[in-house]
Structure 1
């Protein structure tokens, strides 16, 4: 399995050993709560009705479907592996490390404390700078959303953002000179019922 995993990691461009990646997966899995076999059992009847009215699926977990947390664990491991350290971010942007820490503290960059210091998701950066319009978008994003949710939003094609008739990710949209305010409008609704 190690050779196959190393092959997949290399194809994905992740510079990490199979052992290190599996350690990230284990850490991410340990932070998740176990699957609730019957989510509806946790709520009274009126709460169940309110939750299903806004589109939540409270049907019992079917053991044949596998663990729904697996995708999240893999995505979290990749997010952690591809994140930049403060020093790497400072080098990329051409500023001092204290400036990067200040941007994180003032919510102009997002990051999280991890073993060894702050980690900053790579999607926030271009090859030599911070993603254009990032401050506008981060100001609009709800504060209660974890880094993985924000990363998924910024790197998933959105039907309302098109370049040459093709849906693009918010990141691609901004890199092509698209309106940061338009992305911020979508970002402000992250975590709210559709």
Structure 2
């Protein structure tokens, strides 16, 4: 039986086979730089709503382990756990799959890229309620120039905002505000500031 190559030797051979001559060290360094360019901003701490979302899927991060990387990964995991595929979102919205993809690209719906699968887009379910899109959501998401970071936008939608008051004076989440028929312009103005 031939000896099994070391992982680095195997990687070097695979890279050479595909025309990358610089070696695994240079490749991994370039890959790390590329990943740094697309990683979302990292939050300071998990909000109460984020902790509740994690608890609902059985994840309970220890306070000592709650670093920015873990927070972003935990939120992404919770959003993916409760998400829809493009076809399911299209049926829900009464449009074709291509319209959902167009809205993801233009930034009027939130989407996360899944790691694998034919349909790589996943749409966090928090942007839908009672079988429809949140009223005014597209206006809110388009309030920021350029496409909003989906993790930051999701965090915003589930974090109580002091400027969105309930009848009893408590702060509401933008998501609840929109569900209850609140003015999307108020939420859009807040979202444009984050």
Return the TM-score normalized by structure 1: 0.61
2:136 and 2:91 mapped to 1: Cα distance? 20
Aligned to 1:96: 96
- Asked if 1:118 corresponds to 2:121, the answer is yes
What secondary structure, in the 3-state scheme, does the structure 2 residue paired with 1:188 have? helix
Asked if structure 2 preserves the Cα contact closer than 8 Å seen for 1:84 and 1:119, the reply is yes
Structure 1: unaligned runs, 5 residues or longer: 1-7, 22-63
Structure 1 residue ranges (4+ consecutive) displaced by more than 3 angstroms after TM superposition: 8-11, 64-67
2:142 and 2:54 mapped to 1: Cα distance? 35
- Asked if 1:137 corresponds to 2:136, the answer is no
Return the TM-score normalized by structure 2: 0.61
Query: 1:155 deviation in Å?
Result: 0.6
The correspondence for 1:158, drawn from 139, 157, 161, is 161
Bigger Rg, structure 1 or 2: 2
Structure 2 counterparts to residues 20-169 of structure 1, below 5 A: 65-69=64-68, 70-114=70-114, 115-116=116-117, 117-143=120-146, 145-164=148-167, 165-169=169-173
Structure 2: unaligned runs, 5 residues or longer: 1-51
Structure 2 counterparts to residues 6-25 of structure 1, below 5 A: 12=56, 14=57
1:78 and 1:152 mapped to 2: Cα distance? 11
1:91 and 1:145 mapped to 2: Cα distance? 24
Asked if structure 1 preserves the Cα contact closer than 8 Å seen for 2:128 and 2:134, the reply is yes
Deviations 1:90-136 (A, max 9, x none): 12223222221222233221213322221112122122221111121
1:67 to 1:158, Cα distance in 2 relative to 1, 3 A? closer
1:183 to 1:100, Cα distance in 2 relative to 1, 3 A? same
1:103 to 1:66, Cα distance in 2 relative to 1, 3 A? closer
The aligned length equals 136
Deviates more, 1:75-84 or 1:136-145: 136-145
